[in-house]
Amino acid sequence: MPTRDDMIIFSSVNKSFGAHHVLRDLDFVVGRGEKVSIIGPSGSGKTTILRILMTLEHPTSGQVMVDGDELWNLHTGQKPKETKAMRRTRSRIGMVFQQFNLFPHMTALENITEAPIRVQGKSPAQARQQAMELLEMVGLAEHANKRPAKLSGGQQQRVAIARAMALQPAVMLFDEPTSALDPELVGGVLNVIRDLAQTSDMTMLMVTHEMRFAQEISDRVVMFDEGVAIEDGPPQQIFGNPSHERTRRFLQAVL
Ligand code: ADP
C-alpha cells in the first residue's frame, strides 16, 4: 500500500523498445526525502527509469506515482496521452543530464532565470535574485554573464544543477552527472551534489558510476540488472556484503 511518505512509486512497470524488453515488471519505491543511487551495468534500464519520470519516455504498461499523484497508468497496447495533471506532476521534478543541455545562446544567469520567468511567472528581478543565490551556491557567481561555451564542462554542469534547482523541485534526478567530464572536473560537481544531499530535504534519485560517492551520500543503493532491481539496501550492505553474485561481479569490475 502506498503511504504519504512514498515520493516515487513504480508498480509493475514494463518498458519495451520494439522487441527489446528493457524494464520488467518493475516495482520500485523512493521515500520522501530519500537519497537513492541506482547502479548497474550499461543497458540495464537505469536511464529509462529517469526518462519515464521526466515523461521523456512512457512505460509500455504499469503505474508510476509521484508525490501522491499519478504520472502514468498504462495497460499494454494503450496509447499514452499527455494531460494537464501529468504536466503539473512532472513540474515537481528536476533533472540533471549527462550532457548538461544548457541553452548555448544564453548566459549562465539567463539559463537559470528562463523557466522561473516563463513557467512560474516570476518577475525578472525576482528570478535574477534567486539565480544569483543559486550561482553563489554552486560557486559560480562571478561567471553569471558568461555563455556555456566560455565555461568548463564542470562549470556548465554546476549551472545545470542550479537551473534545475530554480524550479524548487520536490524530486531531483541525476543521470550520470559526471560521466561526460574530464577527471579533474568531477570533484567540483560531486561537491555540489553532496552539499545538496546533506542539506536539502529534496528527494534525490541518481544514476551513477561513482561508487564511492554513491556509498557516501546515499540512504539506499539499488542494483539493476537487465531491467530488474536485483538488490536494494543501505550502501554498507550493497558495497560491503552484497547478496547477489551479479552485484559482486559488477562491483569487482568497477571498483
Ligand atoms: P542504462 O542507463 O542502464 O545504461 P538505458 O535505460 O539507457 O540503460 O537503456 C536500456 C536499454 O534500452 C539499452 O539497451 C538501450 O539501448 C535501450 N534503449 C534506450 N532508449 C532507447 C530508445 N529510445 N530506442 C531504442 N532502444 C533504447
- pLDDT, tens only, 168-214: 999 999 999 999 999 999 999 999 999 999 999 999 999 999 999 99
Cell representation of residue 24: 520488467
Contacts of 138 (CB under 8 A, 6+ apart): 158, 159, 161, 162, 192
Q: 1-13 burial by CB neighbour count: b if 16+ within 10 A, else e?
A: eeeeebbbbbbeb
Ligand 1: does its nearest atom lie under 6 Å from the Cβ of 43?
yes
Indicate which residue's Cα is closest to atom 27 of ligand 1.
17
Q: How many CA atoms lie within 13 A of 79 on its CB side?
A: 1
Nearest to 164 by CA among 119, 125, 123, 199: 119
Ligand 1: does its nearest atom lie under 6 Å from the Cβ of 17?
yes
ipTM of this predicted structure: 0.97
Distance 214 CA to ligand 1 centre (A): 22
Quick check: 139 pLDDT over 80? Answer: yes
CB 202 within 8 A of CB 170: yes
pTM summary value? 0.94
Backbone conformation region of residue 213, classed left if phi is above 0, alpha if psi is from -120 to 50, else beta: alpha
Pocket test for ligand 1, best of 14, 20, 26, 176 (most atoms within 8 A of CB): 20
The three-state secondary structure class of 198 is: helix
- Average pLDDT of every residue of the chain: 94
